[in-house]
Amino acid sequence: MSTNEKLSLLVCGGAGYIGSHMARMIAEAGHQVTVFDNLSTGHSEALKWGRFIKGDLRNPEDIERAFDGSSYDAVFHFSALIVVSESVEKPFDYYDNNVTGTMNLLQAMRRHSVNSFVFSSTAAVYGDPVMDMISEEHPLAPLNPYGRSKLFIEQILQDYATAYGLNSVRFRYFNAAGAHPDGTIGEAHNPETHLIPNILLSSIDQGRRLKIFGQDYPTPDGTCVRDYIHIQDLCSAHLAAVDYMSRNNGTHCFNLGNGQGFSILEVIDAASEVIGRKIQYDFEPARAGDSPRLVADSSRALKELGWKPAYADLREIIETAYRWHKSPAY
């Protein structure tokens, strides 16, 4: 199985931010794409590529409808709840959706003999970092139910590789950001919890004030430091993973980030340059479960996948997001 062949690929969560960009990239690469989504956080307007099946991973009957009569070469899984603070308040929802839902999907794959799985994990599995550049060998100590739900699945994938021969690639994302360069699809969560879109929305909507959570972290300016990776770079790594699994059995783990850390205040300054005016903000108390600093060592992905981010500059990433947020479609 190679991405040079025409493949049939299932994208769970394909109406969401990352999933819709993935579905588009798959289709534009000449492959057949099927999107499975319950539209709880995804958007019907993003369903522009491939076949759509509405369903929920927590309902095995829905998953069966997606697999019946279809033969998939690989499955991509983006159907997770992702808000760290919400996971602290509603742990059942996160374990039910992120763990139970994924188990249902894996069982359907076994029943239908689909043996390649690409899983969206997270840098949150690392917890508080004990090294400046986080490699895949960093200790795993998630601080919140969201991170723990992802780590549970990572461990399950290791067991499935041993017991059932399932091939999988699990990507530990740092901060996905940006939008498609043509401005037709981008990041639209409700409510929006991610930094860059909230910065841009506060500049577009004059009645909306930007909030920064925490100013006493052990970082140079007291605000959280994060690594931002463009959505197109994220998706290109996922497509490379399909080809990688055709040559490498078992389960494999890769960080996906740019390898550069920016504080919240540095991101605000960069956005101010892109927009052309100063962005105002207010400080709020720190949120439960947030790590002070998360910056990726992605050298394994560069070496083994042959993957390299095309968007290395933070301002360029912000510019694509700004183009989307200013568009009539948004």
Q: Which residues are catalytic?
A: 146
**240, 305 Cβ separation under 8 angstroms:** yes
- Alpha-carbon gap, residue 150 to 51, rounded angstroms: 27
Cβ atoms of 229 and 172 closer than 8 Å: no
Q: ∠ CA 159-160-164 to the nearest 5 degrees?
A: 125
CA–CA separation, 173 vs 150, rounded Å?
A: 11
**Which residues neighbour 284 within 8 Å (Cβ) at sequence distance 6 or greater?**
211, 212, 213, 214
Query: Which phi-psi region, left, alpha or beta, contains residue 47 (left: φ > 0; alpha: ψ -120 to 50)?
Result: beta
Between the alpha carbon of residue 62 and those of residues 17, 41, 105, 256, the distances in Å are 22, 17, 10, 31
CA neighbor of 251 nearest in space, from 131, 121, 101, 64 = 121
Q: Would you say how long the chain is, in residues? A: 330
Cβ proximity of 18 and 78 under 8 Å: yes
Integer Cα distance of 96 and 88 in angstroms: 14
* Contact between residue 226 and residue 290 where contact means Cβ atoms under 8 Å apart: no
Helix axes 264-275, 195-204, angle to 10 degrees: 40
Query: Tokens in use for 149?
Result: 């739900």
Radius of gyration of the chain (CA): 19
Residue (of 195, 204, 82, 89) closest to 147 by Cα position: 82
